[in-house]
């Protein structure tokens, strides 16, 4: 058979396609564009070096907002674990969460800032100790306050995403053993039921628990957060209970919203604190502890909450609450990376955590490493294949000199992810207004809006204006780059 040159060309292209198709499909599905992405990277690096910043475009239906937690902003509650921790004098700068931002009384004013910045969505916390001041007693006034807050948000076209547990809970629960006591699973279910039955008509999106790994590591391993324990046994007890509480709450929220015919698609997830752990040197001695720390600090819990599987050392591969998919989105809180260097200390799983030498850092000394967001989202997306929400990302920068660039660099990674086919759907900057930053107190400033704690006077920072423009336009164009980033 004789082909003419045109047919030969088609034949060659066809064969090449058949040969490459698996590879292409894989690349398209999983976003690993291999050589192409390497080329893009080189190009990006070169542009960065030349100081050229590309324009960024986000999809029009991409949601942007800010995240916060009840204890960090509300003020006025004496019934939660962080109140006691402050009273005991643990906060580094001597400040106290009893005042915080007085958001409990000023929420209307604060929501106006969200509106002014054109936020699409707001991640807000509910304080368990207000909702359930005593075991078995729920407070309808507290509930109705949160209904007002939600109403104020939706009235301004801001979609709420509610966190049920963000590092704090009632003192009565803590005094019954807190998250170490297996009964906490039932208590958390009751609290969830009350909140969702009474707010679920207005709210379709929920985060059950914020950063179980940070809560457990600081509270039960390092002992620097409440309840101040240093007990590895407690770490795993708390993990097991938190995983069970999440799975039970996940099922319950779906069940309640379905049964009560509440509108909107129910979306439930966890906000996971994820870090990059890179070996400091290209040696097995550093690589092994880096992998081990990643597994123990995050993968173990992330996997268990998503699938119900309790792997070693949580269990031996069993599914105590059944097998399933217990998340509708994958929530990523991303801030920084750690370099891992071998140490003979088994208590540190043979890895010492360090900040990369000469790297840019925020006010708290955390490395600024935007590419980590790309790496982590890609890695976990491949595991779970569900939409990704960046539930927190932000910088402690009291002079506001680095914040705009930080936001640009991280949103650039978001666009890279989207272009690689990874469905990142939302981004929540941490945080709207400077607030009570746990152990660091009021001194650590992450806000788009400055807060004067003496007067509670709020002032939008230039980076806040920048973020506001991004929320409005869903893009960063040349004029914005010139105005805010040069
Ligand atoms: C996260 C917490 C959040 C805030 C930021 C800076 O780990 O979830 O409450 O403190 O860090």
> By CB neighbour count within 10 A (0-12 exposed, 13-18 middle, 19+ buried), where does 14 fall?
exposed
User: For residue 24, is pLDDT > 80?
Assistant: no
Report the nearest atom of ligand 1 relative to the CA of 210.
8
Q: Could you give the CA distance from residue 183 to residue 190 in angstroms, rounded to a whole number? A: 11
CATH number of 38-485, picked from 3.90.1010.10, 3.40.190.10, 3.20.20.80, 3.40.50.2020 = 3.20.20.80
Alpha helices in 323-456 (DSSP H): 371-384, 403-419
> By CB neighbour count within 10 A (0-12 exposed, 13-18 middle, 19+ buried), where does 220 fall?
buried
> Range with the lowest mean pLDDT among 6-20, 141-155, 162-176, 230-244?
6-20
pLDDT digits (tens, 9 = 90+) for 420-473: 999 999 999 999 999 999 999 999 999 999 999 999 999 999 999 999 999 999
Alpha helices in 295-366 (DSSP H): 300-307
Q: Could you give the CA distance from residue 262 to residue 50 in angstroms, rounded to a whole number? A: 53
Q: Could you give the CA distance from residue 123 to residue 114 in angstroms, rounded to a whole number? A: 11
Distance 63 CA to ligand 1 centre (A): 20
Tokens at 232, concatenated: 């590895």
Distance 215 CA to ligand 1 centre (A): 10
Report the nearest atom of ligand 1 relative to the CA of 394.
6
Report the nearest atom of ligand 1 relative to the CA of 446.
6
Q: Which residue has the least CA distance to atom 5 on ligand 1?
A: 430
pLDDT value at position 268? 99
Q: Could you give the CA distance from residue 71 to residue 145 in angstroms, rounded to a whole number? A: 15
Ordered by start, the domain boundaries in the chain are 38-485
Q: Could you give the CA distance from residue 445 to residue 466 in angstroms, rounded to a whole number? A: 17
Give residues with Cβ within 8 angstroms of 155, minimum separation 6. none
Distance 289 CA to ligand 1 centre (A): 25
Q: Could you give the CA distance from residue 436 to residue 74 in angstroms, rounded to a whole number? A: 9
Range 72-80 average pLDDT: 98
Distance 438 CA to ligand 1 centre (A): 8
Statement: the pTM of the whole predicted model exceeds 0.85: yes
pLDDT value at position 146? 99
DSSP state of 281: S
Q: Could you give the CA distance from residue 119 to residue 68 in angstroms, rounded to a whole number? A: 14
């Amino acid at each position: 058979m004789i082909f003419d040159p045109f047919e030969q060309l088609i034949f060659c292209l066809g064969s090449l396609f058949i040969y490459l198709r698996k590879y292409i499909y894989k690349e398209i599905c999983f976003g690993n564009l291999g050589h192409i992405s390497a080329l893009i990277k080189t190009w990006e690096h070169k542009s960065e070096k030349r100081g050229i910043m590309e324009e960024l475009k986000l999809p029009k239906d991409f949601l942007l907002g800010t995240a916060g937690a009840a204890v960090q902003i509300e003020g006025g509650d004496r019934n939660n674990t962080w109140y006691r921790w402050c009273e005991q004098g643990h906060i580094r700068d001597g400040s106290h969460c009893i005042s915080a931002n007085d958001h409990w009384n000023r929420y209307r004013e604060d929501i106006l800032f969200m509106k002014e910045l054109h936020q699409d969505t707001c991640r807000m916390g509910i304080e368990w100790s207000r909702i359930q001041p005593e075991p078995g007693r729920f407070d309808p006034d507290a509930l109705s306050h949160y209904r007002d807050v939600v109403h104020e948000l939706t009235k301004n076209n801001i979609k709420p995403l509610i966190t049920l547990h963000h590092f704090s809970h009632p003192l009565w629960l803590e005094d019954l053993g807190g998250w170490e006591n297996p009964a906490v699973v039932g208590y958390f279910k009751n609290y969830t039921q009350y909140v969702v039955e009474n707010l679920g008509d207005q709210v379709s999106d929920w985060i059950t628990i914020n950063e179980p790994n940070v809560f457990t590591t600081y509270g039960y391993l390092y002992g620097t957060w409440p309840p101040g324990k240093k007990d590895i046994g407690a770490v795993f007890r708390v993990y097991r209970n938190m995983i069970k509480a999440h799975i039970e709450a996940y099922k319950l929220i779906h069940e309640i919203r379905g049964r009560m015919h509440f509108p909107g698609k129910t979306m439930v997830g966890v906000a996971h604190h994820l870090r990059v752990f890179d070996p400091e040197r290209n040696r097995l001695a550093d690589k092994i502890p880096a992998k081990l720390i990643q597994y123990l600090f995050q993968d173990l819990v992330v996997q268990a909450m998503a699938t119900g599987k309790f792997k070693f050392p949580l269990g031996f591969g069993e599914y105590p609450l059944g097998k399933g998919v217990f998340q509708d989105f994958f929530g990523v809180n991303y801030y920084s990376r750690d370099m891992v260097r071998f140490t003979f200390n088994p208590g540190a799983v043979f890895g010492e955590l360090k900040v990369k030498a000469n790297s840019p850092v925020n006010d708290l000394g955390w490395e600024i490493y935007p590419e980590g967001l790309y790496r982590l989202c890609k890695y976990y997306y491949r595991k779970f294949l569900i939409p990704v929400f960046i539930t927190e990302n932000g910088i402690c920068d009291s002079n506001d000199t680095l914040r705009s660039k930080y936001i640009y660099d991280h949103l650039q990674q978001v666009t890279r992810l989207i272009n690689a086919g990874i469905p990142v759907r939302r981004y929540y900057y941490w945080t709207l207004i400077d607030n009570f930053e746990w152990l660091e107190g009021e001194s650590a400033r992450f806000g788009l809006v400055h807060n004067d704690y003496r007067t509670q006077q709020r002032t939008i920072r230039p980076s806040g204006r920048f973020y506001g423009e991004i929320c409005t336009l869903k893009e960063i164009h040349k004029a914005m780059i010139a105005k805010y980033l040069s």
